[in-house]
Amino acid sequence: MMVSKWWSGLRTVVERPISLLCQSSEFHTIQAIPRECTGSRIAARDRAQGRIPAVVFAQNLLDKNPHNRTLSKKQILTTERKQIKSILDSVELPFFCSTRFPLQIRAGSGSSVLLESGTVLPLKIHRDEESGNILNLVFVWADEGMELKVDVPVVLKGEENCPGLKKGGYLNRIRTSLKYLCPAEHIPPKIDVDVSNLDIGDRVFMRDVEVHPSLKLLSKNENMPICKIVATSLEIPEPAKE
Protein backbone atom coordinates (compact mmCIF):
# COMPACT_ATOMS: atom_id res chain seq x y z
CA MET A 1 0.00 0.00 0.00
CA MET A 2 1.29 3.42 -0.91
CA VAL A 3 2.31 5.60 2.03
CA SER A 4 0.17 8.51 0.81
CA LYS A 5 -2.91 6.29 0.78
CA TRP A 6 -2.90 5.54 4.49
CA TRP A 7 -1.15 8.75 5.56
CA SER A 8 -4.03 10.85 4.23
CA GLY A 9 -6.37 8.93 6.49
CA LEU A 10 -4.13 8.90 9.55
CA ARG A 11 -5.47 11.15 12.26
CA THR A 12 -3.35 11.22 15.37
CA VAL A 13 -4.52 13.87 17.80
CA VAL A 14 -4.37 14.87 21.42
CA GLU A 15 -7.54 14.81 23.45
CA ARG A 16 -8.55 18.45 23.90
CA PRO A 17 -9.21 20.17 27.25
CA ILE A 18 -12.96 19.82 26.70
CA SER A 19 -12.66 16.07 27.17
CA LEU A 20 -14.68 14.21 29.78
CA LEU A 21 -11.47 13.60 31.69
CA CYS A 22 -10.87 17.30 32.17
CA GLN A 23 -14.51 17.92 32.91
CA SER A 24 -14.47 15.30 35.65
CA SER A 25 -11.38 16.83 37.27
CA GLU A 26 -13.23 20.14 37.61
CA PHE A 27 -15.78 18.46 39.90
CA HIS A 28 -13.09 16.99 42.19
CA THR A 29 -11.32 19.47 44.43
CA ILE A 30 -8.97 17.41 46.56
CA GLN A 31 -9.35 18.23 50.24
CA ALA A 32 -6.31 17.80 52.47
CA ILE A 33 -5.07 18.72 55.92
CA PRO A 34 -1.46 19.28 57.08
CA ARG A 35 0.59 16.58 58.76
CA GLU A 36 2.80 17.88 61.55
CA CYS A 37 4.61 14.58 62.08
CA THR A 38 5.87 11.89 59.71
CA GLY A 39 6.94 8.30 60.10
CA SER A 40 5.59 4.81 59.56
CA ARG A 41 3.57 4.74 62.80
CA ILE A 42 1.93 8.10 62.11
CA ALA A 43 1.15 7.02 58.54
CA ALA A 44 -0.36 3.73 59.74
CA ARG A 45 -2.55 5.64 62.19
CA ASP A 46 -3.77 7.97 59.43
CA ARG A 47 -4.64 5.01 57.19
CA ALA A 48 -6.55 3.36 60.06
CA GLN A 49 -8.59 6.57 60.32
CA GLY A 50 -9.53 6.44 56.62
CA ARG A 51 -6.90 8.89 55.41
CA ILE A 52 -4.03 8.61 52.91
CA PRO A 53 -0.67 10.31 53.59
CA ALA A 54 0.38 12.62 50.76
CA VAL A 55 3.06 15.12 49.81
CA VAL A 56 3.04 17.96 47.27
CA PHE A 57 6.10 19.83 46.03
CA ALA A 58 7.62 21.48 42.96
CA GLN A 59 8.74 19.02 40.30
CA ASN A 60 12.18 20.60 39.95
CA LEU A 61 13.09 19.22 43.38
CA LEU A 62 13.57 15.91 41.52
CA ASP A 63 16.13 17.43 39.15
CA LYS A 64 19.49 15.61 39.26
CA ASN A 65 21.28 18.94 38.90
CA PRO A 66 21.13 20.67 42.31
CA HIS A 67 21.51 24.09 40.63
CA ASN A 68 18.11 23.57 38.94
CA ARG A 69 16.35 22.97 42.26
CA THR A 70 14.53 25.85 43.88
CA LEU A 71 12.88 26.41 47.22
CA SER A 72 9.23 25.43 46.95
CA LYS A 73 6.12 25.24 49.05
CA LYS A 74 6.50 21.59 49.99
CA GLN A 75 3.53 20.37 51.98
CA ILE A 76 3.15 17.17 54.02
CA LEU A 77 -0.56 16.28 53.99
CA THR A 78 -3.23 13.66 54.40
CA THR A 79 -6.23 13.17 52.11
CA GLU A 80 -9.56 11.40 52.49
CA ARG A 81 -9.45 7.82 51.21
CA LYS A 82 -13.12 7.92 50.12
CA GLN A 83 -12.55 11.03 48.02
CA ILE A 84 -9.41 9.67 46.34
CA LYS A 85 -11.25 6.42 45.54
CA SER A 86 -14.13 8.43 44.06
CA ILE A 87 -11.70 10.37 41.87
CA LEU A 88 -9.98 7.19 40.68
CA ASP A 89 -13.35 5.62 39.86
CA SER A 90 -14.21 8.70 37.79
CA VAL A 91 -10.92 9.47 36.03
CA GLU A 92 -9.38 5.97 36.00
CA LEU A 93 -5.75 5.00 35.67
CA PRO A 94 -3.47 5.80 33.92
CA PHE A 95 -5.20 9.15 33.17
CA PHE A 96 -5.11 10.09 36.87
CA CYS A 97 -1.41 11.00 36.60
CA SER A 98 -1.91 13.23 33.56
CA THR A 99 -4.90 15.17 34.91
CA ARG A 100 -4.66 18.32 37.05
CA PHE A 101 -6.84 18.76 40.12
CA PRO A 102 -7.62 21.74 42.38
CA LEU A 103 -6.24 21.27 45.89
CA GLN A 104 -7.48 22.89 49.08
CA ILE A 105 -5.50 22.55 52.29
CA ARG A 106 -7.76 23.02 55.33
CA ALA A 107 -6.80 23.64 58.95
CA GLY A 108 -8.40 20.34 59.97
CA SER A 109 -10.85 17.66 58.91
CA GLY A 110 -14.16 19.38 58.16
CA SER A 111 -12.67 22.83 58.88
CA SER A 112 -13.80 25.89 56.92
CA VAL A 113 -10.39 27.54 57.43
CA LEU A 114 -8.48 27.45 54.13
CA LEU A 115 -4.71 27.49 54.65
CA GLU A 116 -3.61 27.20 51.03
CA SER A 117 -4.95 26.27 47.63
CA GLY A 118 -3.59 25.60 44.17
CA THR A 119 -3.59 23.11 41.33
CA VAL A 120 -1.71 19.82 41.50
CA LEU A 121 -0.78 16.94 39.21
CA PRO A 122 -0.56 13.41 40.65
CA LEU A 123 2.93 12.04 40.22
CA LYS A 124 2.90 8.64 41.94
CA ILE A 125 0.53 6.28 43.71
CA HIS A 126 2.22 3.91 46.15
CA ARG A 127 0.21 0.75 46.83
CA ASP A 128 0.57 -2.25 49.08
CA GLU A 129 1.82 -5.14 46.92
CA GLU A 130 -0.49 -7.70 48.51
CA SER A 131 -3.73 -5.80 49.18
CA GLY A 132 -3.46 -3.13 46.48
CA ASN A 133 -4.50 -0.47 49.00
CA ILE A 134 -3.08 3.01 48.47
CA LEU A 135 -0.29 3.70 50.96
CA ASN A 136 0.54 7.27 49.97
CA LEU A 137 0.25 9.82 47.18
CA VAL A 138 2.79 12.17 45.60
CA PHE A 139 1.67 15.37 43.86
CA VAL A 140 3.50 18.23 42.18
CA TRP A 141 2.28 21.82 41.99
CA ALA A 142 0.78 22.44 38.55
CA ASP A 143 -0.45 26.01 38.61
CA GLU A 144 -0.82 27.89 35.33
CA GLY A 145 2.52 29.02 33.92
CA MET A 146 4.53 26.13 35.38
CA GLU A 147 6.31 23.66 33.08
CA LEU A 148 6.12 19.98 33.99
CA LYS A 149 7.48 16.71 32.65
CA VAL A 150 4.47 14.46 32.09
CA ASP A 151 4.04 10.90 30.83
CA VAL A 152 0.92 11.20 28.68
CA PRO A 153 -0.91 7.88 28.08
CA VAL A 154 -1.38 6.73 24.48
CA VAL A 155 -4.81 5.34 23.55
CA LEU A 156 -5.13 3.43 20.26
CA LYS A 157 -8.48 3.76 18.50
CA GLY A 158 -10.09 2.44 15.33
CA GLU A 159 -8.96 -1.17 15.66
CA GLU A 160 -12.36 -2.42 14.50
CA ASN A 161 -11.83 -0.76 11.09
CA CYS A 162 -8.10 -1.42 10.70
CA PRO A 163 -7.40 -3.14 7.32
CA GLY A 164 -4.23 -4.80 8.62
CA LEU A 165 -6.07 -6.38 11.54
CA LYS A 166 -8.88 -7.57 9.28
CA LYS A 167 -6.25 -9.37 7.20
CA GLY A 168 -5.08 -11.24 10.29
CA GLY A 169 -2.35 -8.87 11.40
CA TYR A 170 -1.42 -8.10 14.98
CA LEU A 171 -1.33 -4.67 16.63
CA ASN A 172 2.03 -4.29 18.34
CA ARG A 173 1.68 -1.62 21.05
CA ILE A 174 5.26 -0.39 21.35
CA ARG A 175 4.73 2.73 23.50
CA THR A 176 1.98 3.12 26.07
CA SER A 177 2.89 6.74 26.86
CA LEU A 178 4.93 9.68 25.59
CA LYS A 179 6.85 12.08 27.82
CA TYR A 180 6.46 15.81 27.17
CA LEU A 181 7.59 19.03 28.78
CA CYS A 182 4.23 20.77 29.12
CA PRO A 183 2.97 24.11 30.36
CA ALA A 184 0.61 23.09 33.15
CA GLU A 185 -2.43 24.61 31.44
CA HIS A 186 -1.84 22.53 28.27
CA ILE A 187 -1.24 19.08 29.78
CA PRO A 188 -3.30 16.60 27.72
CA PRO A 189 -4.93 13.82 29.77
CA LYS A 190 -4.27 11.38 26.91
CA ILE A 191 -3.21 11.05 23.28
CA ASP A 192 -5.59 9.36 20.85
CA VAL A 193 -3.89 7.51 17.99
CA ASP A 194 -6.13 6.44 15.11
CA VAL A 195 -5.08 3.10 13.59
CA SER A 196 -8.19 2.64 11.43
CA ASN A 197 -6.25 3.11 8.15
CA LEU A 198 -3.14 1.04 8.89
CA ASP A 199 -2.26 -2.02 6.84
CA ILE A 200 0.21 -4.78 7.65
CA GLY A 201 3.68 -3.26 7.99
CA ASP A 202 2.41 0.27 8.66
CA ARG A 203 3.56 2.19 11.74
CA VAL A 204 2.73 5.36 13.64
CA PHE A 205 5.82 7.26 14.75
CA MET A 206 6.30 9.74 17.60
CA ARG A 207 6.76 12.49 15.03
CA ASP A 208 3.25 11.81 13.67
CA VAL A 209 1.53 12.91 16.88
CA GLU A 210 -0.06 16.35 16.74
CA VAL A 211 0.08 18.19 20.05
CA HIS A 212 -0.24 21.77 21.27
CA PRO A 213 2.74 23.74 19.92
CA SER A 214 3.87 24.56 23.46
CA LEU A 215 4.55 20.88 24.21
CA LYS A 216 8.09 19.54 23.76
CA LEU A 217 8.63 15.82 23.17
CA LEU A 218 11.29 14.52 25.57
CA SER A 219 12.71 11.79 23.38
CA LYS A 220 16.12 11.50 21.78
CA ASN A 221 14.60 9.95 18.67
CA GLU A 222 11.19 11.12 17.44
CA ASN A 223 11.40 8.51 14.67
CA MET A 224 10.66 5.74 17.16
CA PRO A 225 7.34 3.95 16.47
CA ILE A 226 4.39 4.07 18.82
CA CYS A 227 2.65 1.08 17.28
CA LYS A 228 2.89 -1.22 14.26
CA ILE A 229 0.69 -3.71 12.41
CA VAL A 230 2.68 -6.92 12.05
CA ALA A 231 1.92 -10.15 10.26
CA THR A 232 0.98 -13.10 12.47
CA SER A 233 2.12 -15.85 10.06
CA LEU A 234 5.39 -16.35 8.23
CA GLU A 235 5.61 -17.30 4.58
CA ILE A 236 6.50 -20.94 4.16
CA PRO A 237 9.60 -21.17 1.98
CA GLU A 238 9.45 -23.32 -1.16
CA PRO A 239 11.36 -26.60 -0.93
CA ALA A 240 14.77 -26.53 -2.51
CA LYS A 241 14.97 -28.03 -5.98
CA GLU A 242 17.12 -31.11 -6.38
Predicted local confidence at residue 136, as pLDDT: 96
Pairing of strands 12-14, 30-34: unpaired
**CATH classification of 3-17+148-230, choosing from 3.40.640.10, 1.10.3720.10, 2.40.50.460, 2.170.120.20?**
2.170.120.20
| pLDDT for the residue numbered 9 | 40
CATH architecture, domain 20-143: Beta Barrel (2.40)
Classify strands 147-157 and 191-194 as parallel, antiparallel or unpaired.
parallel
Residues β-bridged to residue 67: none
What does the pLDDT read at residue 236?
44
**Average pLDDT along the chain, 242 residues, taken 10 residues at a time:** 39 44 66 90 94 91 54 83 94 91 93 94 95 95 94 96 96 96 96 96 95 94 96 59 48
Sign of the dihedral through C-alpha 125, 129, 132, 134: negative
**pLDDT score, position 27:** 66
Residue extent(s) of CATH 2.170.120.20 domains in the chain: 3-17+148-230
The boundaries of every CATH 2.40.240.10 domain in the chain are 20-143
The whole-model pTM stands at 0.80
Asked if omega into 225 is within 30° of 0 (cis), the reply is no
Q: pLDDT value at position 117? A: 94
> CA 219 to CA 211: how far, in whole Å?
15
The dihedral formed by the CA atoms of 29, 38, 140 and 81, expressed in degrees to the nearest 10: -30
Give the CA-trace dihedral at 37, 79, 145, 112, to 10 degrees.
Answer: -90
Report the SS3 class of residue 38: coil
Identify the pLDDT of residue 70. Answer: 53
Cα separation, 122 vs 99, in Å, equals 7
